[in-house]
Structure 1
Amino acid sequence: MNEFIKKKGRKEIFDLKPYVPGKPIEEVKRELGIDDIIKLASNENPIGPSPKGVEAVEKALAQLHFYPDSNCFYLKNRLSEILGYENENLIIGNGSDEVLKLIAETFINQGDEVVFADPSFVEYEFTAKIMGAACIKVNLKDFTHDLEAMLQAITDKTKIVYICNPNNPTGTIVTEQEMDYFMNNVPEDVLVVFDEAYVEYVEAENFASGLKYVDQGKNALVLRTFSKIYGLAALRIGYAITTKEIAQAIERVIEPFNVNMLAQVAALAAIDDHEHVKKSQNLNSEGKQYLYKEFKNLGFDYVPTEANFIFVDTHKDIQFIFNKLLQLGVIIRTGDIFGYPTYMRLTIGTKQENERLINALKAILEE
């Protein structure tokens, strides 16, 4: 390593592990020379972006020479109308990933601790470590957040607790009753961040949004995104709902023009594209039931999901399955990166994509 970097670089960055995204389609095309590829690795919407969002982007293209609205005024107004909060309760970010980084920059000092489940979304650890925090990981229980153990992990150094609900990569939820108990016992000086990136896919009746605790005035923040059900992942736009005081603090570290104009207009249009949302939900629900049935037939175990992906135990070396699927033009996410070497996390696709996945798995198992 360069001596200047070694001496002058912030020591925290040398402990960071770069985020490894799902393998891109173009990369597989280059490596294997395959053109017909489906990607079931990154929890993207298989039917594509909101048509209303696409139309809004097309109309806005002639305005690319203008800087975007730094305050996201119109999007905040619409979110306020839909969610029942004032603009001052909202933070808009360059994806919810940026909002996580903004939260860390606002609240974490070197030596603080953060608590989150393991495995869960890797960005909690990444953004906390950048700021010099110690990351306290609490193992899942039955693939679900163990809130009792997370409470016990809180110390006087704990600054933030992250709850991914539904959880990525397992797709499980924490129920309202479990959440109430947790929030009634968590210290008042701890910020609880509820990451609800997949909330629109939840079908369980015993689910409750973290917005309940924002309404109660607790130190709580709820993350949402336009990347998943609205299909705007490439544009990078997400948001947070929290108390006015917390939002005002976070606003102090937001860069000017952090959300591009095309993302803003697309999100503003997509949020009212109810037809696209309903179509996405129905497709996901039907695909989930089909895959459950087929996994049972294959002898695979799976974690029942409330998201648009399923965590599946193939009972085989997942790298073997992964590479065989790649050769058949199917990209999945391997579970070994989460500590589960026989598992895969796969996005629920279209009917045709789901059938192609199952046929590919059958062919591999019959070899």
Structure 2
Amino acid sequence: MQSTQSTESNLLPLVPAYDSILALAPYQTGKPIEELTREYGVSDVVKLASNENPIGCSPHVTLAITEQLGQLSRYPDGNGYYLKQALADFNDVNVDQITLGNGSDDLLDILARSFVGADDAIVYSQYAFIVYSMLAKMQGAMDVEVPAQRFGHDLKAMSQAVQDNLNTKIVFIANPNNPTGTQLEHGELREFVASVPSSVLVVLDEAYIEYSPESNNRALLDEFDNVVIVRTFSKAYGLAGLRVGYALSSVAVADLLNRIRQPFNVSRIGLAAAAAALADQDFIEKTRLMNDEQMRWLEKQFDALGLGFIKSHANFIMVEIEVEMEDTNAAVIYQALLEQGVIVRQLEVYGLHNWLRISVGVAEDNMRLIDTLRSILTDD
């Protein structure tokens, strides 16, 4: 007969590695369509919350996925040979400068785990992708948030923050920035990189680069060994459900990242789909043209509704909800849109209480958004 012992007296309490983990809140994704249907019984749902490609993905991707269905019992190529070869050709880099990830978030996590310890600091901008702050807390590191300038990165202030915090290991810069859509010029970015010590990694998060090809800072890799560029197939390429991303860096940095990344972190289907998507740049051009056209249309509609917005260089737009109606704010408008089957993104977590982020959809979805928004704002 086994003896029973008091769990409380014999087991130490389980605690996280760093106290900062307790300050973390789970990342809030855009509300899924299925969840909205369950909650409100709405069947005709328009999702404009997660910056997905509203026209889907290249038809070549579907074929590539189909060809892999008979191989699902086999592990993928852990090195991602064919995708890395295609990415090397596309970006004019060597294969050994590439690291593959389970989406770009995976790569950001790998970067933090590779270079940041508990006594180090991560520098990022106010109103930049919230995952940067989360990564600092996960590593038990200091997160240094630099006040934004006109809703974008203040690179001079960020450079000063690096000088003031000699323990800085990574600076995260999103360009174009999420959620504000702002963009940095090549010259100011180069000046910033040159101003920080070579021991500080400058990570350029280019998740939305396909919507703003002029933001491509690939050339910085030829000049600076401490620059890393992170990109994703989740946005313009339309593969958000497959989770594939990649990083471009020096050979030395890529070697470290590939030591840390999990084996088989990109699935067999993901590898094949991403290679097929990359090869169809006509689809990317079609996506960009549609996005540009619909973005201009939405801007005109927001002007007509008297709503402010930040000019965006991505596939979303940040809209200010300041209307002269009692008890009406961004949270109220967000909820009212939800109840009518339109999903957008609240920005409370960024401290942007009067703003909503709205993904650019196809014409039909955008008209539904504007019609619904107009009816809410004019409802007595």
TM interval, short-chain normalised: over 0.9
**Does 2:189 match 1:179?**
yes
**Does 2:358 match 1:346?**
yes
Partner secondary structure for residue 182 of structure 1: helix
Spell out the pairing of 1:232-243 with structure 2 (5 A cutoff): 232-243=239-250
**Does 2:280 match 1:270?**
no
Is 54-63 or 190-199 further displaced after alignment? Answer: 54-63
The match for 1:75 among 58, 80, 83 is 83
Contact map agreement 1:166 1:307 (CA 8 A) in 2: yes
Tell me the CA shift for residue 208 of structure 1.
4.2
**Number of the residue aligned with 1:331:** 343
**Number of the residue aligned with 1:130:** 138
**Number of the residue aligned with 2:252:** 245
Spell out the pairing of 1:128-207 with structure 2 (5 A cutoff): 128-154=136-162, 155-202=165-212, 207=214
Partner secondary structure for residue 240 of structure 1: strand
Residues 133-188 of structure 1: CA distance to partner in whole angstroms, max 9, x if unpaired?
A: 11000121101100011011112110000000000000011111211221221112
Tell me the CA shift for residue 278 of structure 1.
1.4
Partner secondary structure for residue 159 of structure 1: strand
Partner secondary structure for residue 310 of structure 1: strand
Tell me the CA shift for residue 337 of structure 1.
2.1
Partner secondary structure for residue 73 of structure 2: coil
2:133 aligned partner, one-letter code = E
Q: For 2:156 and 2:192, locate their aligned partners in 1 and report how far apart those are by CA, in whole Å.
A: 7
Q: Which runs of 5+ in 1 are unaligned?
A: none
Contact map agreement 1:333 1:346 (CA 8 A) in 2: yes
Contact map agreement 2:234 2:240 (CA 8 A) in 1: yes
Partner secondary structure for residue 373 of structure 2: helix
Is 184-193 or 208-217 further displaced after alignment? Answer: 208-217
Q: For 2:319 and 2:101, locate their aligned partners in 1 and report how far apart those are by CA, in whole Å.
A: 32
Q: TM-score under structure 1 normalisation?
A: 0.96
Partner secondary structure for residue 142 of structure 1: coil
| Structure whose CA Rg is larger | 2
2:74 aligned partner, one-letter code = F
Contact map agreement 1:318 1:336 (CA 8 A) in 2: no
Spell out the pairing of 1:81-96 with structure 2 (5 A cutoff): 81-96=89-104
Residues 291-315 of structure 1: CA distance to partner in whole angstroms, max 9, x if unpaired?
A: 0100000000110000000011021
Tell me the CA shift for residue 6 of structure 1.
4.6
**Number of the residue aligned with 2:55:** 47
Contact map agreement 2:225 2:249 (CA 8 A) in 1: no
Report runs of 4+ in structure 1 exceeding 3 Å deviation. Answer: 2-8
Partner secondary structure for residue 248 of structure 2: strand
Contact map agreement 1:92 1:238 (CA 8 A) in 2: yes
Residues 251-299 of structure 1: CA distance to partner in whole angstroms, max 9, x if unpaired?
A: 1111111111000000000001122211111110001100010000000
Spell out the pairing of 1:248-263 with structure 2 (5 A cutoff): 248-263=255-270
The match for 1:287 among 269, 294, 299 is 294
Give the CA RMSD over aligned residues: 1.4
Partner secondary structure for residue 168 of structure 1: coil
Partner secondary structure for residue 235 of structure 1: coil
Contact map agreement 1:195 1:222 (CA 8 A) in 2: yes
Q: TM-score under structure 2 normalisation?
A: 0.93
Tell me the CA shift for residue 342 of structure 1.
1.3
- Structure 1 residues 74 and 315, CA gap change in structure 2 (3 angstroms): same
Contact map agreement 2:88 2:95 (CA 8 A) in 1: yes
Contact map agreement 2:291 2:315 (CA 8 A) in 1: yes
Contact map agreement 2:318 2:358 (CA 8 A) in 1: yes
**Does 2:221 match 1:214?**
yes
Contact map agreement 1:120 1:167 (CA 8 A) in 2: yes
Residues 79-122 of structure 1: CA distance to partner in whole angstroms, max 9, x if unpaired?
A: 11111111100000000111111111111111100100111111
Tell me the CA shift for residue 8 of structure 1.
3.7
Contact map agreement 2:183 2:215 (CA 8 A) in 1: no
Q: For 1:360 and 1:354, locate their aligned partners in 2 and report how far apart those are by CA, in whole Å.
A: 10
How many residue pairs were aligned? Answer: 363
Contact map agreement 1:210 1:220 (CA 8 A) in 2: no
Partner secondary structure for residue 295 of structure 2: helix
Q: Which runs of 5+ in 2 are unaligned?
A: 1-6, 324-328
1:320 aligned partner, one-letter code = V
Residues 42-71 of structure 1: CA distance to partner in whole angstroms, max 9, x if unpaired?
A: 000000122111211011111001000000
Q: Identity rate of aligned residues, in percent?
A: 41
Q: For 2:372 and 2:283, locate their aligned partners in 1 and report how far apart those are by CA, in whole Å.
A: 29
**Does 2:313 match 1:313?**
no
**Does 2:23 match 1:15?**
yes
Q: For 1:95 and 1:5, locate their aligned partners in 2 and report how far apart those are by CA, in whole Å.
A: 36
- Structure 1 residues 346 and 86, CA gap change in structure 2 (3 angstroms): same
**Number of the residue aligned with 2:3:** none
